[in-house]
Amino acid sequence: MSHDYSTIPSELLASLGRADNLEQAAHCVTRLRLALKDPGRVDSATLNQIDLVKGSFFTGGLFQVVIGPGEVEKVYAALREQTGLAASTIADVKDK
């Protein structure tokens, strides 16, 4: 199945409390790992309905969005392109 990776970041950002709520983003094999200014702005119910999103949770100071292997890299690249965020490692995001 082909996905439109250009639309997914807009949907993610709307559910995450807009782009100004996002401090940093990185990814592992299956998840986006996000440092948020205000985790209370997240609409998890809407977020979990987005195409490709398999779930989400907050742990270790990071909000994590489960997307899956082979897809998360494409979503991360589209998110960075849309927001202008610099590339970050998981260690960078954890240190936020």
CATH number of the domain enclosing 89:
3.30.1360.60
In a domain, 1, yes or no: no
The whole domain housing 20 covers: 8-94
In angstroms, the CA 84 to CA 69 distance is 23
Provide the pLDDT for residue 10.
95
In a domain, 34, yes or no: yes
Average pLDDT, the chain: 93
Where do the H-state alpha helices sit in 1-96? Answer: 8-15, 44-47, 72-83, 90-94
In a domain, 17, yes or no: yes
Mean pLDDT to the nearest integer, 82-95: 85
Helix axes 72-83, 8-15, angle to 10 degrees: 80
Just list the catalytic residues: 28
In angstroms, the CA 18 to CA 9 distance is 10
In angstroms, the CA 35 to CA 6 distance is 21
pTM of the predicted structure, to 2 decimals: 0.92
How far, in whole angstroms, is CA 4 from its chain's centroid?
Answer: 16
Does position 66 have pLDDT exceeding 90, yes or no? yes
pLDDT bin (cut points 50, 70, 90) of residue 5 is confident
In a domain, 28, yes or no: yes
Number of domains in the chain: 1
